[in-house]
Amino acid sequence: MLDKKATDVLILHVAKLTSVADYLVLGSAESDRQARAIADHVDGILSQAGSGPLSIEGKASSQWVLMDFGDVVVHVFRQDARQHYGLERLWADAKRVALTATALSRPIVQKPAPAKRVRVTRQA
């Protein structure tokens, strides 16, 4: 997100508050075009790492793009939409994860473990 100049980036640890996700990542953009660029960048980086999104909503209008990566849900807002919906207020009880160099260097979304292969044999 920061590579595409997202502002007010915030990571909330919500695992103890909901079963929907472990983390919410919020970021703001100054325009629809920037919001779409941020969302495309996040999608591209995580897809290359093997963690493509389960779903993406709102990319056409880009006022609020919601990207579901399973344990992590990413919200990219236009600044006015973020203020209007106030997710920070809604998740006020969530622990905020500091944006340190260490936190930014390790991915939040983990690549799933490879599935075990099972050999099926026919009996005559």
Which residue did the predictor score with more confidence, 104 or 39?
39
Give pLDDT tens digits for 80-117.
999 999 998 999 999 998 876 444 444 554 444 444 44
Does residue 123 form part of some domain? no
Of 15-24, 93-102, 115-124, give the lowest mean pLDDT range: 115-124
Its domain, for residue 71, covers 2-99
Q: Is residue 109 part of a domain?
A: no
pLDDT digits over 50-73, tens only? 888 899 998 888 889 999 998 899
**Which residue, among 36, 13, 17, 33, has the nearest Cα to 25 in the 3D structure?**
13
Q: How far apart are CA 15 and CA 87, in angstroms?
A: 16
* Strand 23-29, strand 55-57: pairing: unpaired
Number of structural domains (the chain) is 1
Residue 78: CATH number of its domain: 3.30.460.10
* Per-residue confidence (pLDDT) for residue 24, from 0 to 100: 93
Whether 110 is in a domain gets the answer no
Backbone angles phi, psi at 31, to 5 degrees: -150, 165
Please name the residues in contact with 95: beta carbons below 8 A apart, sequence gap of 6 or more. Answer: 12, 13
Q: Are 53 and 25 in contact (CB under 8 A)?
A: no
